Structure 1
């Protein structure tokens, strides 16, 4: 057995492109779902607005709680600091206060032993502060750098030097408050959020109250979590409420949309259930009344159309018998016209011409009645489109000579084989050529043929008056004329292009028109090469290439005015 082929490993760039394509597809699906669902858009908008409002209110509320908590703690700490300062002043003002000014080595113990007034004051402050969780006190003397007295194991590095400098600039007895991390000996890497209240005494002593705020921080963190949870719950609750309320409105609208789609698909008995007496109920009532009136009008139009089709069919068939008799008599008179006097001979020729025109009109009416009855069918054979075009041009030569029109044939050198009903396609081309001669004002008519793998196309281009905007589809309506005041030089019923379009549709093809006022018009017939195949494109453009090129040139080139034109069009003397 041959070895199994190895799977080709994809490069990181290919993997990245694949991920991007999948992400774009997912984003595209999500975007389509979002814009197609009114309920989803309302719920999403409500959630976004709710999140913004709740976030703003939560931030504002949290700031107020933090400010209130810190202000309360600061007021209490300042009150205790004032009391401690008065106590220290009382101890320092004793007669033995001179003993406290003895030299102290830097780095002395936090709670030195002895009976000096400063030691007594430190011990008293320690008893007042209690545990370190309330606050700690550090007493320093600015004349003895490095010496301090403390009530706990608080590290003096907690006091920033910049804040000490600011304290020296203030008057004695004036407080300074700082928010800074507090450090304890033995725990240098675990600072505690805290607040420092510093005061300078008259006797060159500094008293610092270090208040830890770890409890307040934990309390505020709990409050913040609670606010976030309550805000998230509130947002979800608002989203659920908006979804419920929107559903009550969207569901009847969705039912109305589905009913309208079924009504448009032809189910004229579709109706909505009416519940209540609100606006949605009145909408359902109005929809039901509209559907009933529409069904009635459609039924009336169908009956009228059926009567009209039946009338056209019956009249067309009934006219065949008398027309045959009249044709036989007219042929006898036309053949013997040389024996008549000139007036009678001319009358015989006119009668012959009008009978030919009447037979053509009757043939068109019979053909359109067959299309209305759904009785038209195809006799498909593989033919060369070029031969069909040449036969149609040969049939139109006499009419073209009378209008001084010349045909410009642009046929490919290779055969253009396609499966089609050559009789019907030739009739389409004759109608297009007659129309081009009628409206071409004596200019050349260009006939182009092209083919590709799936389709063949024939384009008939005239250089006459052209079409006005919006008339590209009207030209295929029955009995429609572009300019009713214009005299017709070619007799007809006004059904030629309508029958041509029906023939093209019967082949599974397209018959399209383009026109521009003053630039002429072009009709393009596109047919599949294989009968029954789906037509996906045409080998020929609908807009003539020279017109498209001229429009592109005009869009990219700015006209340059002559000096006379730029001066208002006045000629120079």
Structure 2
């Protein structure tokens, strides 16, 4: 019953309970009334028959004639109880049958079991004062109900039987059954209305609670419920409000801490730029004079130069990550030839001998050239560093999207590492915590893809090696595809100059 709503289930339960109660009450009422009506009718008829049998046969001779029996039967049938009479007696050595209505009441109508009971003589003792008793039962003739009873006159008198129609009683009971059926139907309708009212009373707070929980899940942490009453639903609403208030406070604290952390990283990176600029200038001079330095000092100078460059890259990456976290990263869009852009990225880093490019010229896309260069540099550089050459870069369009695959020929990525390759500062090998990279390259590449409204996936190729797939939308602005907001050309130049500082 999962597909049935709670309201419908509540109404169904109410209806079933009401139906069971109404049917039970109606059945009990019907059987009680039926028993009372039939008992009253048959008692009245049998009492009248017993008295009439005594009064009308007491004056008859021991061997009455058939005419005398017939006259007695007619007198007995003329009472207010409206039953037919059948008298059977001995006359002239044979049986004489006297029915009040020969076409309806004949000896054949009397059941053999009733005849045997009436004719059976009982022994007289302290518990039984009479040899013969009055017996009765209900039968059906021609589809109509009747009461039939009989008794034998004590002292050798005739045997008398009565036949009373119960058609009126049946009609009365049928009317009662219809009335009870209508009452049951009305009770069912009333229960449905009560169930509707109860469902509305119970489910309205539940619905409000569900809507509030949905808004809370959407990030509207100021959502609260109006509480009234002291029942369980009111307690539940108060609990929800307390939970929402605690959650809001906790999220605000975490947001404040996160904002503080972002400001700290941004401020730290910004403050590091000035001394790094001076250190970088000094290291460049030292690198130019490396051939003239003492051989004992040259390795240390080379280490300082490489670590300074690494530190400079780390600071730049931290600044970029901070922009993404703060939501201030912007796109400077331009129509670019993707093949030319990939070629320029490879050529600028002297990777032409180690990278194979499969791309057609003239494949235009509206992208941020600088950010696309960052993505490609990170993906191709990561493939060369960890996978080994040759690295194959293929560019094609697929289902209205630009797809760039970067595949290496290395050992591939372990399955337990695949879910974490885009995590910040993630190192696949704990034994090599120190490497040339900062651990932010792939994360930054993914964020740059997201800001375009695209994404990057990592997998292992069946032929060996790892494959990184960049997917970017074509034919729509990244802002419409879920990416970042855009800058004007002048703002883009200012942003590019600021990023290049």
Q: 1:322 to 1:286 in 2, by over 3 A?
A: same
Q: 1:458 to 1:176 in 2, by over 3 A?
A: farther
Pairwise mapping of residues 352-391 of structure 1 onto structure 2 (< 5 A)? 352-383=305-336
Which residue number corresponds to residue 137 of structure 2?
177
Which residue number corresponds to residue 550 of structure 1?
none
Structure 2 segments unaligned to the other structure (5+ residues)? 90-95, 121-133, 483-501
1:334 CA drift (Å): 1.4
Which residue number corresponds to residue 180 of structure 2?
227
Residue 425 in structure 1 maps to residue 369 in structure 2: no
Contact 2:280 2:308 in 1 (8 A): yes
Which residue number corresponds to residue 262 of structure 2?
309
1:80 CA drift (Å): 5.0
Which residue number corresponds to residue 46 of structure 1?
14
Distance 2:390 2:10 in 1: 62
Distance 2:141 2:356 in 1: 96
Highest relative contact order (Cα 8 Å, sep 6+), 1 or 2? 2
Distance 2:141 2:363 in 1: 92
TM-score normalised by structure 2 residue count: 0.71
Q: Which of the pair has more CA radius of gyration?
A: 2
Which residue number corresponds to residue 506 of structure 1?
451
Distance 2:147 2:352 in 1: 111
Distance 2:334 2:88 in 1: 116
1:233 CA drift (Å): 4.2
Moved more, 320-329 or 488-497: 488-497
Contact 1:88 1:118 in 2 (8 A): no
Q: 1:421 to 1:257 in 2, by over 3 A?
A: same
Moved more, 57-66 or 305-314: 57-66
Q: 1:282 to 1:90 in 2, by over 3 A?
A: closer
Residue 151 in structure 1 maps to residue 123 in structure 2: no
1:316 CA drift (Å): 2.2
Contact 1:167 1:176 in 2 (8 A): yes
Which residue number corresponds to residue 280 of structure 2?
327
Distance 2:269 2:476 in 1: 31
Which residue number corresponds to residue 464 of structure 1?
413
Q: 1:44 to 1:491 in 2, by over 3 A?
A: farther
Distance 2:360 2:406 in 1: 19
Equivalent of 2:399, from 448, 453, 463? 453
Moved more, 219-228 or 527-536: 527-536
TM-score normalised by structure 1 residue count: 0.63
Which residue number corresponds to residue 136 of structure 1?
84
Q: 1:71 to 1:311 in 2, by over 3 A?
A: same
Figure out how many residues of one structure are paired with residues of the other and give that number: 457
Pairwise mapping of residues 100-499 of structure 1 onto structure 2 (< 5 A)? 100=66, 116-128=67-79, 130=80, 134-137=82-85, 150-152=99-101, 155=104, 172=119, 175=135, 177-182=137-142, 193-197=144-148, 209-241=162-194, 243-244=196-197, 247-275=200-228, 279-383=232-336, 418-435=365-382, 451-458=397-404, 463-467=412-416, 472=419, 475-481=421-427, 485-488=430-433, 490-499=435-444
Distance 2:384 2:116 in 1: 107
- Deviation track 1:104-124 (CA, whole Å, cap 9, x = no partner) reads xxxxxxxxxxxx123213312
Which residue number corresponds to residue 130 of structure 2?
none
Q: 1:65 to 1:352 in 2, by over 3 A?
A: same
Distance 1:284 1:341 in 2: 78
Q: 1:294 to 1:126 in 2, by over 3 A?
A: closer
> What is the Cα-based RMSD across aligned positions, in Å?
4.8
Contact 2:337 2:361 in 1 (8 A): no
Q: 1:221 to 1:507 in 2, by over 3 A?
A: same
- Give 3-state SS (helix, strand or coil) of 2:438's partner: coil
- Deviation track 1:9-56 (CA, whole Å, cap 9, x = no partner) reads xxxxxxxxxxxxxxxxxxxxx997x52xx4554333222332233324
Contact 1:316 1:365 in 2 (8 A): yes
Contact 1:381 1:421 in 2 (8 A): yes
1:332 CA drift (Å): 2.0
Structure 1 segments unaligned to the other structure (5+ residues)? 1-29, 101-115, 142-146, 183-190, 402-406, 537-573
1:220 CA drift (Å): 1.7
Which residue number corresponds to residue 22 of structure 1?
none
Q: 1:126 to 1:156 in 2, by over 3 A?
A: closer
Contact 1:504 1:525 in 2 (8 A): yes
- Deviation track 1:126-179 (CA, whole Å, cap 9, x = no partner) reads 223x47xx33345689xxxxx98543586469x988x75666777736856343
Distance 1:139 1:339 in 2: 154
Q: 1:347 to 1:230 in 2, by over 3 A?
A: same
Contact 1:136 1:154 in 2 (8 A): no
- Give 3-state SS (helix, strand or coil) of 2:296's partner: helix
Which residue number corresponds to residue 69 of structure 1?
37
- Give 3-state SS (helix, strand or coil) of 1:66's partner: helix
